[in-house]
Amino acid sequence: METVFYISAAVAVAATVMTITRLNAVHALLYLIVSLLAVAIAFYTLGAPFAAALEVITYAGAIMVLFVFVVMLLNLGRAAIRTERTWLSPASWTGPSILAAILAALLVYLLGQSGAPPAPAAIGPEQVGMALFGPYMLGAELASMVLLGGLVAAYHLGWRRPRRPEAA
């Protein structure tokens, strides 16, 4: 179990470094999602399956949806279509695919080894909710405000004044 934790931590660090160093936003997003999945596996090995599920659902899922929403808002037109064709090359998917394959192998190993992770104490949804709306409420609200700020910024970046028809 300790080996799985260290491998997932190494994958998380490698994917995070790749996220920071990529110039293409979509490639950075792919590495970020791999990093978040690696952190979820680390949570699972530490005995927090609920935190791992929350990590996958809220971060990996919500960030992907937010990014797609921003791309749709910006609506770059034909130039974006040409750029997307270059993104679909197999070379651009090699790094995230290798890291994701390592994580998938770790997950299969974990699930095949035993039915439940070695949990010192199970933490349920009620305790998580009490913590989020108790001592960590300010942090949760700040995170939601950061996401809202990103959404407003994406809207203002993508907003274009409608063209008026020329007077004849």
pLDDT in tens, 115-151: 555 555 667 778 878 877 888 788 778 878 887 887 7
Domain-wise residue ranges, the chain:
2-124
Low-confidence ranges of the chain (pLDDT < 50): none
| 13: amino acid identity, one letter | V
Look at residue 75 and give its three-state secondary structure: coil
Mean pLDDT of the chain: 77
**Distance from first CA to last CA of the chain, Å, rounded?**
75
Give the position of tokens 């960030």.
63
Architecture of domain 2-124: Up-down Bundle (1.20)
pTM here?
Answer: 0.55
Burial class (CB in 10 A: 0-12, 13-18, 19+), 62: exposed
pLDDT of 115: 57
User: What is the tally of helices (H) and strands (E) in the chain?
Assistant: 8, 0
